[in-house]
Chain A
């Protein structure tokens, strides 16, 4: 049973526009959420996180929004740049000593 779902395997966006990556979760015990970016042949790089006491966290071009009632979070990248092209993983933790649970990832392509 997938506890963290990224339903869009891929997304294409024009350079300069907004990229919105979505993530849904089913476990109501999750209370900490993270986004990782992964280039081919490299390990995932931590991008941004949000705890369940907040509904928004911003870091430069990256903003994560959390809607707890809908069990949904999204990552907004604005403006999108070609270097943002990568696979983005959503991850969640909570319920005691449970390590991170990852979604399957969304491949973002930013077209110049």
Chain B
């Protein structure tokens, strides 16, 4: 079973709203990721959590705030977003949290975010 579950599948929010994207995996993976994907582009890494600690933040604006409540859950809190933040937000996980080399990353189906 290589399932990463994301909710909601679709989200429309105003620029002053606060919302959250949620992600869950029960594969015992110790690394979890947030990626952003725009149309016709590859996934862009935003954050990596390794053993529930933030290990990589790819210079993402502070209006995106990740949270890892436990080893199975990953949230992305959204506040004061801009229309250009509209994209597919992908959660992913991989087995080994100590090093990302040689790890297969498994993606969820994504959350489509539209900022109006």
Binding site for B on A (CB under 8 A): 31-32, 34, 36, 41-46, 49, 51, 89, 91, 93-100, 102-105
Contacts and interface: CB of A to CB of B under 8 A. Distances in A.
Residue from B88, B90, B92, B104 with most neighbouring chain A CB atoms (10 Å): B104
Q: Size class of B's contact patch?
A: 20 to 34
Contacts of B6: 43
Contact of A32 (B4, B40, B45, B102): B102
Interface stretch (B61-69, B71-79, B107-115): B107-115
A97 B100 contact: yes
A31 B101 contact: yes
Given A93-B102, A97-B100, A105-B40, 19 more contacts: A31-B102, A43-B4, A43-B88, A43-B108, A43-B109, A43-B110, A44-B90, A49-B104, A94-B101, A97-B55, A97-B99, A97-B101, A98-B100, A98-B101, A99-B56, A102-B42, A102-B43, A103-B42, A105-B42
A36 B112 CA distance: 19
B87 to A, nearest CB: 13
A102 B90 CA distance: 14
Contacts of B56: 99
Given A44-B43, A102-B43, A96 B90 contact: no
Contact of B42 (A42, A51, A104): A104
Contact of A45 (B100, B102, B107, B112): B107
Given A41-B112, A99-B45, A102-B42, A46 B102 contact: no
B51 interface: no
